[in-house]
Structure 1
Amino acid sequence: MPEPFDTSHAPFDCLTASQVKQCRQAIDVAYFRRGDTLLAAGDSGDQLFIIIKGSVEEVSEDGKETFSHYTTDDLFDVPAILNGTAKHQYRALEDTLCHLLPADVFLAIYHTNQDFSAYFDTNLQRRQQLIAQARQQQNLAEFMLTRIDDTNIQPALRVTPDVPLRDATAKMKAQRCDCALVDYEDGSCGIITRTNLLHALVLDGHDQSVPVGNIATRPVISVERGDFLFHAMITMTRQRVKRVRVVDDQEQTVGTLDLPQVLSLFSTHSHVLNLRIARAQTVDELVLAANSQSKLVHTLFNNGIHTRFVMKLIATVNEQIMEKAFRLIVPEPYQQQCCLVVMGSEGRSEQVLKTDQDNALILADDLTWPECQTVMEAFSHTLNLLGYPPCPGQVMVSNPKWVKSASQWQQTIRNLAQSANHQSVMDLAILADAHPVAGDSQLIDAIQTPLKASLTDNMLTLNTFVRPALAFKVPLTVFGSLKSGKEGLDIKKGGIFPIVHGIRTMSLEKGVSETNTFERIERLANIGTLAEETAENLAEALKLFIRLRLRQQLSGEQQSNYIDVSALPSSERDLLRHGLHVVKKFKESLAYHYHVRD
């Protein structure tokens, strides 16, 4: 006996209870032998087929062209139901068992349930949104079980009641804090904030010499170290305060918590990591902070945070880590006479998990720095300690090839564009994504300006430049279904890289200055180079590929680009197949535009 009809998969997971009951009462089961025609071209669409077991192919009326394959949990043919007749024929490739949902039941739900009907929209973006909404259940358990400890407690500035307002303000400014705790002789504690100071001096007319004890608010609401952060947020909300004092089991002050910080921890858990990076005074302290990054990625992903937001946030954190390392390692006199740039996925702000180092250094033309090579070797070693392993291709600042003066970089790029061989194209592609993260960011012009001058409308060089995007085959069979090897489906070669490099090529042709692929796509659409629908589908396909790869990597295969297709639910297999067809069509347009022929 077949399993009862499962409504937990999209699009049936958005049905109301009554609609679920309606489906289960009306649904039937049918068995088809290998070679049977389930639906012929021209047949009326009387029912929706949902495959329980087996496989079906969709072919043209004459049987000469195959459009797609369907397998377990896949469904067809909605257009036949909506339009009245089937355009293609469907035949069983093996013995197949299907659920059959009558057309009148399907249409009744289709016309009354907007989320259900929207699933069948052919727009990839809309379909991804619906599936994401269906799966997105915010996991609050981590936050609710997170305790108040030294990683999230802010150090407290403490003053005595006799300190003048002027001095208290100066101390708050020096320590970059917006409040101070006031310790009274009787053991009680008060608090002054920037708002208290502003009101005292401006509205109440107090002199700057007035003691802070005269204006401090007390008692201070306190929470205990070791208590749950969730309780601290509830306490602040209930007491209508924005800050609380944190005490130990002896009622001694150990720091403070403020509401914006707790809310930030509540939403992303990223604030504590930013604070730890900012406070790091040594490489060892920075290493401890950087090691928290993978936990942040897990939290964001598991909480259903949008992929692009995760990429932007992690890119910002990576920049903070590298900029801090730069300031710890590079002597201060040289920090504003050079520019550290990151490249590759880091330069495009598309790296989520840490990968190999991929960076370069631009030196001011008038800079004399004999120890530069030694310092850069120390910097690369530091990045390795921070979780960024050395680049196998040596694309990093410890390699003198990637450390040049501004004028040397300009000449290098011109030479690379003129030679346009395999190696020069690879180097140009790397440099095209350069993004400044530390030092004098204006020095990036030494790379961006000659790139634009050398490659804008340079179709001869771009003909060679675009070829890597066309080198890997899209993992689809000749029948249009997913093609997966023993290790799985290589989503980087088959999906991510063709989009990234193809869009990079088009951006260089049009002189687009953005480095992020999504921003490049938007820019190309704005200037009319990409059709709006094409741009939307490319962006959504790329997001899908990155999300599927990230999920696989978070499961324990951090460096893997292979997707286990068999582990995907039917809705995601369908999206993946749709996304790869978008890539296939895009590659065909690239080959035509740049006159690349096999």
Structure 2
Amino acid sequence: MPQPFNTSLIPFDRLDVSQQSRLVNALDVAYFRAGEVIIQVGASCQSLYIILKGSVEETSADQQEHYAHYTTDDLFDVRAQLSGHSRHQYRAVEDTLCYLLPQPIFAEFYQQNPDFAAYFDTNLATRQQLLEQAHRQPNLAEFILTRIRPDNIQPCLKLSAETDLHTATARMQQQNCDAAVIALPDNAPHRFGIITRTDLLHAVMLDGKASSTPVSQIATTPVIRIELGDYLFNAMIAMTRHRVKRVLITQDEDIAGMLDMTQVLSLFSTHSHVLALRIARATSIEELALASESQPALVQTLFNNGIHTRFIMALIASINEQIIEKAFQLVVPAERQEQCCLLVLGSEGRGEQILKTDQDNALILADGVDWPDCHTVMSTLSDTLCKLGYPTCPGKVMVSHPDWVHSVSGWQHRIRQCCEQGDENAMMTLAILADAQAVAGNRNLLEPVTQTLHQRLASQELLLSTFARPAMKFSVPLTLFGQIKRSKHGPDIKRGGIFPIVHGIRTLALEYDVAETNTFNRLTALEQRKVLEPTTASNLSEALKLFIRLRLRQQLSLNDESQSAGQQHQLDLAVLSRAERDVLRHSLHVVKKFKEWLSYHYQLRD
């Protein structure tokens, strides 16, 4: 007798109790010998097949084309349940045992249960969302999906620019608030400013301002603003990134209220803002290292509580930036900090690094700066980042190496030189620079370098063809049957999934002069410019999120420090559920299709 059907499997867990009962009672069991054709091309399919044991291949009628391979817990032929007939042939590869769900029952569930039907939508984003829901824990997930609403913000005291300090203090006391928004004149650079009780105290007691002084003279600008209806989590990220305790909530340019960190922390328990404060207050490398050490625990907490991958990336990118900037401030002499700009590159530059990996950084010096000790200071900075948990880069893409320290004009010359060389090594140097993000020092120094890079590469078909080629270098880990390749250590998701998307989209961003460095933001921009179809952009975004999340889960589970860096990118398929394998397979097919499109777009030949 076969084992009882597991109704907790996705998508059957979407069914209500009565539907699950009907499902179990309606199931039949069928046995097929190896080589037996289960469904013929064009046949009307009377049942949905759910494999209990064995494997099945999906092919053309003549078996010359192989479309997919199915194994335990997989479903087929879903398409035939909706269209009425099968487009392909299904044949047992080995002795196979299947549950059979009658087509009328499936159709009834499909029509009556939107959650069940959504799983069979070919849209990868929908399937990914259902998969995340199945794993999500309710406590932090509820917070993470909470939007900023009128009932979770506080009223905002608004004062005119001419209001004097005495009146402002009295008004704030009357309304029992510790901050007020100042409406600045139309000719001011910013529309709003903000004052706090601390600002008023310092103005009168420390700066000797008269009580008749207009509040516009002490207002802080610009005010960090979040739109009503945005995620509460994004407000927390904004506070963490800008190191402020409150943000202004607006609706169509009008003030809707204010949100402060106390409110957020009362709902959210990971203390990321506390970590940001510890980083900001660090006065030594030792103090900074202690703050930095708590970062992995924050990632673990966020991940274990089902927080969206992109939210985690945004928050950790902000914290990483603050750690690196603080290290820069502690190591680089104060008089030199405005004469140079520290860049982070690679996944850190794209804001897609979650756990600390190898250092990838560079330095831009202002033209004409004479800094004899630059190499010594940069070597100290690299050593410091090592102490903070950022290992040295095997490829020496670091500020401690002279190749990655140049003046503005020096970087511009190197970009032109790489474009003239036009080989793959030169193109990879440009690819690394394309993801550069300024994190410390004089950030304005990056702009002319970035402009040169985009000007030299935009619409340069021959150069871009060479630039795009590395995206074709690694094969997608799929078999001829469309199944995920199985190997000793599992598929390399970085080479076979993440890199082709990241590098392919990076190439398109340079071709169409997209300034964004984050891959997800680049996808949005390319969709808006009609370079990519909306479905393609959405599928690539969802596939990348899945790859990053699965890799992160594996990295967090690897407690053995002897595990190699390569194995951290090789997914253990045994720990994936059937639904996860299904979505992973779908995502890899998205990558395969994207690579085919890139190959055609840039006329690449293997």
TM over 0.5: same fold? Answer: yes
Say if 1:14 and 1:134, in contact at 8 Å, map to a contact too. no
Q: Which residue of 2 aligns with 1:173?
A: none
Q: Which residue of 2 aligns with 1:260?
A: 263
Say if 1:537 and 1:579, in contact at 8 Å, map to a contact too. yes
User: Which residue identity lines up with residue 591 of structure 1 in the other structure?
Assistant: S
Q: Which residue of 2 aligns with 1:479?
A: 481
1:538 to 531, 537, 540: 540
User: Which residue identity lines up with residue 565 of structure 1 in the other structure?
Assistant: L
- List per-residue Cα deviations over 1:446-468 (Å, max 9, x = no partner): 32011111111111111111111
Note if 1:114 corresponds to 2:122: no
1:399-478 equivalent positions in 2, closer than 5 A: 399-478=401-480
State how far apart, in whole Å, the 2-side matches of 1:120 and 1:19 are.
Answer: 17
Q: Which residue of 1 aligns with 2:514?
A: 512
Distance verdict in 2 for CA 1:362–1:307, change over 3 Å: same
State how far apart, in whole Å, the 2-side matches of 1:417 and 1:102 are.
Answer: 62
- List per-residue Cα deviations over 1:485-511 (Å, max 9, x = no partner): 211100011010011111111111111
User: Which residue identity lines up with residue 376 of structure 2 in the other structure?
Assistant: T
User: Which residue identity lines up with residue 56 of structure 2 in the other structure?
Assistant: V
State how far apart, in whole Å, the 1-side matches of 2:280 and 2:274 are.
Answer: 10
1:480-499 equivalent positions in 2, closer than 5 A: 480-499=482-501
Q: Which residue of 1 aligns with 2:21?
A: 21
- List per-residue Cα deviations over 1:425-450 (Å, max 9, x = no partner): 12111111111000111100232011
Note if 1:592 corresponds to 2:595: no
State how far apart, in whole Å, the 1-side matches of 2:49 and 2:268 are.
Answer: 46
Q: Which residue of 1 aligns with 2:44?
A: 44
Distance verdict in 2 for CA 1:28–1:461, change over 3 Å: same
1:192-591 equivalent positions in 2, closer than 5 A: 194=197, 259-260=262-263, 262-263=265-266, 265-266=268-269, 268-556=270-558, 559=565, 560-591=568-599
State how far apart, in whole Å, the 2-side matches of 1:81 and 1:413 are.
Answer: 56
Say if 1:41 and 1:86, in contact at 8 Å, map to a contact too. yes
In the TM superposition, what is the alpha-carbon distance from 1:72 to its structure 2 partner? 0.6
Say if 2:438 and 2:446, in contact at 8 Å, map to a contact too. yes
Distance verdict in 2 for CA 1:127–1:261, change over 3 Å: closer
State how far apart, in whole Å, the 2-side matches of 1:394 and 1:78 are.
Answer: 51
1:162-177 equivalent positions in 2, closer than 5 A: none
State how far apart, in whole Å, the 2-side matches of 1:350 and 1:577 are.
Answer: 22
User: Which residue identity lines up with residue 133 of structure 2 in the other structure?
Assistant: Q
State how far apart, in whole Å, the 1-side matches of 2:5 and 2:586 are.
Answer: 25
State how far apart, in whole Å, the 2-side matches of 1:494 and 1:127 are.
Answer: 21
- List per-residue Cα deviations over 1:567-591 (Å, max 9, x = no partner): 2111111111111111111111111
- List per-residue Cα deviations over 1:153-180 (Å, max 9, x = no partner): xxxxxxxxxxxx99xx9xxxxxxx979x
In the TM superposition, what is the alpha-carbon distance from 1:269 to its structure 2 partner? 3.1
State how far apart, in whole Å, the 2-side matches of 1:320 and 1:387 are.
Answer: 14
- List per-residue Cα deviations over 1:518-564 (Å, max 9, x = no partner): 11111111111111111111111111111111111111158311001
User: Which residue identity lines up with residue 598 of structure 2 in the other structure?
Assistant: L
The TM-score, its normalising length taken from structure 2, stands at: 0.79
In the TM superposition, what is the alpha-carbon distance from 1:137 to its structure 2 partner? 1.6
User: Which residue identity lines up with residue 66 of structure 1 in the other structure?
Assistant: H
**SS class of match (2:451):** helix
Note if 1:67 corresponds to 2:67: yes
In the TM superposition, what is the alpha-carbon distance from 1:297 to its structure 2 partner? 0.6
User: Which residue identity lines up with residue 94 of structure 1 in the other structure?
Assistant: E
Q: Which residue of 1 aligns with 2:215?
A: none
Say if 2:140 and 2:307, in contact at 8 Å, map to a contact too. no
State how far apart, in whole Å, the 2-side matches of 1:32 and 1:258 are.
Answer: 62
Say if 2:140 and 2:268, in contact at 8 Å, map to a contact too. no
In the TM superposition, what is the alpha-carbon distance from 1:265 to its structure 2 partner? 4.0
State how far apart, in whole Å, the 1-side matches of 2:585 and 2:354 are.
Answer: 24
State how far apart, in whole Å, the 2-side matches of 1:66 and 1:370 are.
Answer: 64
User: Which residue identity lines up with residue 260 of structure 1 in the other structure?
Assistant: Q
Say if 2:140 and 2:306, in contact at 8 Å, map to a contact too. no
State how far apart, in whole Å, the 1-side matches of 2:539 and 2:423 are.
Answer: 32
State how far apart, in whole Å, the 1-side matches of 2:72 and 2:301 are.
Answer: 31
User: Which residue identity lines up with residue 533 of structure 2 in the other structure?
Assistant: A
- List per-residue Cα deviations over 1:223-280 (Å, max 9, x = no partner): xxxxxxxxxxxxxxxxxxx9xxxxxxxxxxxxxx9843632642x4312211211111
State how far apart, in whole Å, the 2-side matches of 1:195 and 1:322 are.
Answer: 29
User: Which residue identity lines up with residue 415 of structure 1 in the other structure?
Assistant: Q
State how far apart, in whole Å, the 1-side matches of 2:378 and 2:199 are.
Answer: 48
**SS class of match (2:69):** strand
Distance verdict in 2 for CA 1:140–1:522, change over 3 Å: closer
State how far apart, in whole Å, the 2-side matches of 1:516 and 1:558 are.
Answer: 27
Say if 1:264 and 1:270, in contact at 8 Å, map to a contact too. no
User: Which residue identity lines up with residue 266 of structure 2 in the other structure?
Assistant: L
**SS class of match (1:466):** helix
State how far apart, in whole Å, the 2-side matches of 1:580 and 1:384 are.
Answer: 35
Say if 1:431 and 1:447, in contact at 8 Å, map to a contact too. no
Structure 1, unaligned runs of 5 or more: 144-164, 170-176, 180-192, 202-206, 209-241, 243-256
User: Which residue identity lines up with residue 9 of structure 2 in the other structure?
Assistant: H
The TM-score, its normalising length taken from structure 1, stands at: 0.80
Q: Which residue of 2 aligns with 1:138?
A: 138
Which protein is bigger by CA-based radius of gyration?
1
**SS class of match (1:111):** helix
In the TM superposition, what is the alpha-carbon distance from 1:195 to its structure 2 partner? 10
Q: Which residue of 1 aligns with 2:31?
A: 31
User: Which residue identity lines up with residue 574 of structure 1 in the other structure?
Assistant: D
State how far apart, in whole Å, the 2-side matches of 1:369 and 1:195 are.
Answer: 40
User: Which residue identity lines up with residue 435 of structure 2 in the other structure?
Assistant: D
In the TM superposition, what is the alpha-carbon distance from 1:94 to its structure 2 partner? 0.4
State how far apart, in whole Å, the 1-side matches of 2:282 and 2:314 are.
Answer: 22
State how far apart, in whole Å, the 1-side matches of 2:63 and 2:393 are.
Answer: 51
State how far apart, in whole Å, the 2-side matches of 1:524 and 1:387 are.
Answer: 35
State how far apart, in whole Å, the 2-side matches of 1:547 and 1:481 are.
Answer: 20
In the TM superposition, what is the alpha-carbon distance from 1:292 to its structure 2 partner? 0.6
In the TM superposition, what is the alpha-carbon distance from 1:71 to its structure 2 partner? 0.4
In the TM superposition, what is the alpha-carbon distance from 1:63 to its structure 2 partner? 2.4
State how far apart, in whole Å, the 2-side matches of 1:546 and 1:561 are.
Answer: 10
State how far apart, in whole Å, the 1-side matches of 2:13 and 2:200 are.
Answer: 55
Q: What is the root-mean-square deviation of aligned Cα atoms in Å?
A: 2.4
Distance verdict in 2 for CA 1:197–1:593, change over 3 Å: closer
Say if 2:408 and 2:448, in contact at 8 Å, map to a contact too. yes
State how far apart, in whole Å, the 1-side matches of 2:271 and 2:261 are.
Answer: 14
